[in-house]
Structure 1
Amino acid sequence: MSHHEPEVRTLKVPGATIHHEVRGSGPVLLLIPGGPQDAGVLAGLARRLADRYTTVAYDPRGNSRSALDGDPVEQRVDVHGDDAARLVEALGGGPAYVFGTSGGGQIGLALAAGRPDLVRALVAHEPACVLMLDDPSDAVAADRHVYDTYLNEGADAAIREFLGLNGLDAGEGAQGDGVPSDPEEAATFERVSANFEYFLAHGLLPISLYRPDVEALSGNGARVVVGLGTGSEGALIHDIGLALAGRLGTEPVPFPGDHLGYDTHTEEFAEALHGALRAG
Structure 2
Amino acid sequence: MNNILKVSDAELYYEVRGHGPLVVLVGAPMDADAFGPLADLLATDYTVLTLDPRGVKRSTLYPGGTSRPEQRADDLAALIRHVDAGPAVVLGSSGGAVSALALAQYHPDVVRTVIAHEPPLSRLLPDADELLAMAEKQMATYLSGDVVGAFKQFFRGANIQIPDQVVELMFAGDRDPVQVAAERFWFEHEMRETITWLPDLDKLREATIMVGIGEESTDQLCDRTSIALADRLGIEPTRYPGGHTGFADAPEAFATVFRAELEVIHSPR
1:146 counterpart (138, 144, 159) = 138
Displacement after TM superposition at 1:173 (Å): 5.5
Mapped to 2, the partners of 1:239 and 1:83 lie a distance apart of 28
**AA paired with 2:15?**
E
- The separation in 2 between residues aligned to 1:168 and 1:234, in whole angstroms, is 11
- Quote the offset at 1:142 in angstroms: 1.8
The amino acid of 1:209's aligned partner reads: T
Q: Distance in 1 between matches of 2:168 and 2:109?
A: 39
Which residue number in structure 2 is paired with residue 32 of structure 1? 26
Match of 1:233 in 2: 218
| Aligned equivalent of 2:95 | 103
1:185 aligns with none
- Residue 157 of structure 1 and its aligned partner are, at CA, apart by 3.3
Identify the match of residue 16 of structure 1 among 7, 10, 14: 10
What is the CA RMSD across the aligned residues, in angstroms? Answer: 2.1
1:162 match: 154
CA distance in 2, matches of 1:98, 1:172: 34
Please list, as runs of the form range in 1=range in 2, the aligned pairs for 1:1-280 lying within 5 A after superposition: 7-34=1-28, 36-71=29-64, 73-92=65-84, 94-166=86-158, 167=160, 169=162, 170=167, 174-175=171-172, 191-219=178-206, 222-280=207-265
Q: Does the 8 A contact of 1:123 with 1:224 survive in 2?
A: yes
**SS in structure 1 of the partner of residue 61 of structure 2:** coil
| Cα distance in 1, alignment partners of residues 152 and 8 from structure 2 | 33
Measured against aligned partners, the alpha-carbon deviations of 1:152-174 in whole angstroms (never above 9, x if no partner) come to: 34445324432443327549963
Partners of 1:171 and 1:264 in 2: CA distance: 21
Matched residue of 1:94: which SS? Answer: coil
Partners of 2:70 and 2:102 within 8 A in 1: yes
Structure 1: distance between partners of 2:177 and 2:156 = 20
Matches of 1:139 and 1:192, distance apart in 2: 26
- Cα deviation, 1:242-275, whole Å, max 9, x if unaligned, reads 0000111111111011101111211010111122
Task: Please tell me whether the aligned partners of residues 120 and 221 of structure 2 are also in contact (alpha carbons under 8 angstroms).
Answer: no
Report the TM-score, using the length of structure 1 for normalisation: 0.86
Q: Whole-Å Cα distance in 2 between the matches of residues 252 and 276 of structure 1?
A: 12
Count of equivalent residues: 260
Q: Which 5+ residue runs of structure 1 have no aligned equivalent? A: 1-6, 180-188
Distance between the aligned counterparts of 1:97 and 1:268, measured in 2?
19
CA contact (8 A) 2:139 2:187 kept: yes
Native 8 Å contact 2:77 2:103 kept in 1: yes
Partner of 1:3: none
Match of 1:184 in 2: none
